[in-house]
Amino acid sequence: MGEPLALEASGLTKVYGHGHTEVVAMRDATMRVRRGEVVALLGPSGAGKSTFLLCVGLINPPTRGSVAIGGRLIQDGPDSLGDLRRFRREHIGFVFQKSNLIPFLSAVENVQVVGELVGKAPSVARRRAMELLGELGVGARSLNMPTQLSGGEQQRVTVARALANQPSLILADEPTAALDSVRGRQVMQLFRDVSHTHGTAVIVVTHDHRALDVFDTIYEMEDGVLTQTTHASVLGQRSAG
């Protein structure tokens, strides 16, 4: 056997509500992601992409199915096997569409805090945070509060936060929606670089078809059904449509 998969999601099904209000947001979704693999997740609005990310990100439990991260079964149906929050802070980095920075912390503190949460000394966590912000081109803004940053700058700080603990899995939900195409592509490129140098698996939900070439694998989701596809078929669809 080779090394364990970074992510193995099997038969994930999510049903929201019950009775008249029941919505099946995701049916029997299965995805295997190797270490260092960069995955794009495409699909129309309401297809269930965010639902999938929340399940594999251990934020919302699936109704059925299991999630194993780094070869360790951590979510089995609605039951969680272990301390999910601890698992999240140590192994998963999140980036969401709307920048989600803590409003009372400066840019650097927003990144530093996740380092401290896993027990790093404040000075160590801060040094790492400064490095990351520098790499992402927002080093000069490190002492500003989130409201003093532009949308793109905020998003880059969020990316820095996701990278701070060198997670084995990064989940990004439309991370470039607030960025221009150049910046957007830079962020995608950055995910790819991190993934290839650190072996981090990355799943990115995106609508931006121009940056698809940075991804190793492409999945599509429609009406809660997840299927793997190829660059060619996605691009072909687009030119046809």
Partner 1 sequence: MNLAIRDIRRNSGRFALTTIGIGMLLMVVLGMGGIYRGLVDDALVVTRGVGADVWVVQRDTRGPFAEISRLPRSVVDRVATVPGIHGAKEFVFHTIQREHRGKPLRMGVLGLGWPIDKGEGLPLVAGRPLAQNHFEMIADESLGLALGEKLRLAKDTYTVVGLTRWLVASGGDGIACFTSRDAQAIQFDEPGESIRLERRARRARADAIDFGRTQPRVLERAAGTSRDIAALPGPAISAVIAGLAPGVDPANVQRIMGGWGDVTVYTATQQEELLLKGSVDRARRQILLFRVLLTIISAVIMALIIYTLTLDKLHPIALLKLIGAPNRTIMGLILQQSLIMGALAYGVGYLIGMRLFPLFPRRVLVTNDDLLRVAGIVLLISVVASLLGIWKAMRVAPNEAIG
* Identity of the amino acid at 44: P
Nearest approach, Cβ of residue 64 and ligand ATP (Å): 16
Q: Is 115 exposed, middle or buried (0-12, 13-18, 19+ CB in 10 A)?
A: buried
Helix-, strand-, coil-residue percentages of the chain, each rounded to 5: 40, 25, 35
Judged by CB under 6 A, which stretch of 40-48, 78-86, 118-126, 157-165 contacts ligand ATP?
40-48
CA angle 136–198–58, rounded 5-degree value: 90
Q: Which is nearer to ligand ATP, 48 or 57 (CB)?
A: 48
Q: Which of 239, 227, 183, 198 is nearest to 30 (CA)?
A: 227
Binding partner of residue 16 among partner 1, ligand ATP, Mg ion, none, CB under 5 to 8 Å per kind?
ligand ATP
- Nearer to partner 1 by Cβ, of 87 and 219: the residue is 87
At closest approach, how far in Å is the CB of 157 from partner 1?
A: 13
CA distance 133 to 47: 34
Three-state SS at 153:
helix
Among ligand ATP, Mg ion, partner 1, none, what binds residue 103 when CB lies within 5 to 8 Å by partner kind?
A: partner 1
Quick one: which of 60, 76, 81 has its CA closest to 14? Answer: 60
Size of the site for Mg ion (CB under 5 A): 1
Return left, alpha or beta for 150; rule: phi > 0 is left, psi -120 to 50 is alpha, else beta. beta
CB of 198 to partner 1, least distance (A): 19
The span of 39-47, 117-125, 153-161, 188-196 binding ligand ATP (CB under 6 A) equals 39-47
Judged by CB under 6 A, which of 23, 177, 178, 212 binds ligand ATP? 23
Residue of 6, 7, 25, 211 that binds ligand ATP (CB under 6 A): 25
Q: Per-residue contact track with ligand ATP, 129 to 168, x per CB under 6 A? A: ----------------------------------------
Contacting residue, 49, 88, 120, 126, with ligand ATP by CB under 6 A: 49
50 binds Mg ion (CB under 5 A): yes
Q: Is 47 in the site for ligand ATP (CB under 6 A)?
A: yes
**Which CB atom, from 100 or from 229, has the smaller least distance to partner 1?**
100
Residue type, 170: I
Q: Which of 151, 150, 156, 152 is closest to 108 using CA atoms?
A: 156
- Applying CB under 6 A, does 35 fall inside the site for ligand ATP? no
**DSSP codes of every residue in 71-128:** TEEEEETTEE-S-HHHHHHHHEEEE-SS----TTS-HHHHHHHHHHHTT--HHHHHHH
Instruction: Give the interface with Mg ion as residue ranges (CB under 5 A).
Output: 50
